[in-house]
């Protein structure tokens, strides 16, 4: 039986990556372990090296990319709701924990997260899985969440840009024009381009592509074919979808079909 705490949470386990990852973001947290090899991370305009037995933490919306060399890693993408609920159970107020440290060299954290990942891939019982999940994340929050944001999560963008971002999410599979985005934000196209880049760290095109790739990945993990997943995420050209996916995740979307390495809790 699968735990509801991890509903719609994706996991990935990669044995050997030597790839470049173009800058992108996630609406969830990214929490992962480097087992072997090295990852040079570009995170919020800073370069950090991730070595063996380190944890890698990315807050929702943070821009990141990088380069890997013989990198063996495991990631999962827990929701804001999950981390905020656990924070509330620990401290009595529901807030979104913010992790300032991106790469964490902490043997205890590594060991707890590793036990949790092993439980996930071994398909252990709900009780055991939830216990290891809470054990790992509560340690992470207690030791490394030195800041919080209000919950529900409020976007740091101005109201106009927030409306444009919502428009993108609602129309991700459609052909989104600059006229429509600027009109939604109620500013000129010139000002919209400048404001959007300042607030998100990406151009509107880069942001839309990142959202489409994220949606396509979820659709494939849910069982949709590669061709339909790309189409339903807004890619009319299958080869463009595959190339772009590889640039962001460092592996082909076909790799997602290896069910032993990729899990989506539903």
Q: How far is 73 from 16, CA to CA, in rounded Å? A: 8
Residue 157 sits at φ, ψ, to 5 deg, of -75, 160
In angstroms, rounded to a whole number, what is the distance separating the alpha carbons of residues 257 and 233?
18
Q: What's the mean pLDDT in 82-108?
A: 96
| Confidence at 266, pLDDT banded by 50, 70, 90 | low
Query: What is the per-residue pLDDT for 118?
Result: 96
pLDDT at position 2, please? Answer: 62
Count of other CB atoms within 10 angstroms of residue 183: 15
d(C-alpha 83, C-alpha 72), whole Å: 25
Inter-residue contact 96 to 149 (CB < 8 Å):
yes
pLDDT at 144: 98
Tell me the CB-side half-sphere exposure of residue 198, using CA atoms within 13 A. Answer: 9
| For residue 240, pLDDT beyond 60 | yes
Q: Average pLDDT in the 113-125 region?
A: 95
Is the same domain home to 178 and 134? no
Number of domains within the chain? 2
109 or 191: whose pLDDT is higher? 109
Shared domain for 96 and 198, answered yes or no, is: no
Report the Cα 157 to chain-centroid distance in Å.
Answer: 19
Does some domain include residue 225? Answer: yes
Choice among 20-29, 110-119, 168-177, 194-203 with the minimum mean pLDDT:
194-203
How far is C-alpha 190 from the geometric centre of its chain's CA atoms?
30
The distance of Cα 30 from the centroid of its chain, to the nearest Å, equals 5
State the pLDDT at residue 201.
85
Q: Residue 1's pLDDT is what?
A: 47
- Number of neighbours of residue 146 by Cβ within 10 angstroms: 10
For the cut 60, the answer to whether the pLDDT of residue 145 exceeds it is yes
> Is 106 a domain residue?
yes
pTM for the model: 0.89
| 35 & 122 share domain | yes
Percent of the chain at pLDDT above 70? 96
Provide mean pLDDT across the span 140-159.
79
Instruction: State percent of the chain over pLDDT 90.
Output: 82
CATH of the domain at 45: 2.60.120.280
Domain assignment present for 265: no
Q: Is residue 251 part of a domain?
A: yes
Domain boundary pick from 150, 185, 218:
150
The rounded distance, in Å, linking the Cα atoms of 146 and 29 is: 16
Q: 3 phi and psi, to 5 degrees?
A: -80, 140
> 95-98 and 147-150 as β-strands: parallel, antiparallel, unpaired?
antiparallel
Listed residues 150, 177, 193: the one ending a domain: 150
DSSP-based three-state secondary structure for 38? strand
Domain that holds residue 65: 4-150
3-state percent helix, strand, coil for the chain, nearest multiple of 5: 45, 25, 30
181 and 211 housed in the same domain: yes
Residue 233 lies in a domain: yes
The answer to whether the beta carbons of residues 241 and 248 sit under 8 Å apart is no
Burial 214-247 (b: 16+ CB within 10 A, else e): bbbbbbbbeebebeebbbbbbbeeeeebbebbbb
In a domain, 263, yes or no: no
Average pLDDT over the chain, rounded to whole? 92
Q: At 45, is the pLDDT very low, low, confident or very high (cuts 50, 70, 90)?
A: confident
Instruction: Specify whether 175 is located in the same domain as 202.
Output: yes
Higher-confidence residue of 155 and 38: namely: 38
**Of 4-13, 62-71, 240-249, which range is least confident?**
4-13
Q: Residue 90 CB: number of other CB atoms within 10 A?
A: 15
């Amino acid at each position: 039986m699968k735990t509801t705490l991890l509903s719609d949470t994706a996991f990935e386990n990669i044995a050997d990556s030597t790839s470049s990852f173009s800058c992108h973001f996630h609406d969830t947290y990214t929490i992962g372990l480097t087992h072997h090899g090295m990852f040079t991370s570009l995170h919020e305009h800073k370069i950090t090296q991730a070595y063996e037995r380190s944890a890698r933490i990315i807050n929702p919306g943070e821009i990141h990319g990088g380069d890997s060399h013989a990198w063996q890693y495991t990631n999962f993408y827990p929701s804001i709701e999950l981390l905020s609920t656990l924070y509330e159970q620990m401290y009595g107020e529901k807030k979104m924990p913010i992790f300032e440290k991106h790469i964490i060299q902490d043997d205890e954290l590594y060991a707890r997260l590793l036990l949790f990942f092993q439980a996930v891939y071994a398909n252990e019982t709900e009780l055991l899985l939830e216990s290891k999940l809470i054990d790992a994340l509560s340690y992470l929050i207690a030791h490394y969440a030195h800041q919080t944001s209000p919950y529900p999560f409020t976007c740091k963008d101005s109201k106009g840009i927030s409306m444009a971002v919502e428009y993108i999410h609602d129309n991700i599979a459609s052909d989104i024009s600059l006229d429509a985005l600027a009109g939604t934000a109620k500013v000129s196209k010139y000002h919209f381009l400048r404001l959007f880049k300042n607030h998100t760290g990406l151009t509107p095109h880069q942001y839309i592509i990142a959202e489409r790739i994220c949606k396509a990945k979820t659709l494939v993990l849910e069982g949709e074919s590669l061709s339909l997943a790309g189409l339903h995420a807004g890619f009319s050209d299958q080869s463009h979808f595959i190339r772009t996916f590889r640039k962001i995740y460092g592996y082909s979307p076909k790799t997602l079909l290896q069910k032993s390495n990729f899990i989506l809790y539903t």
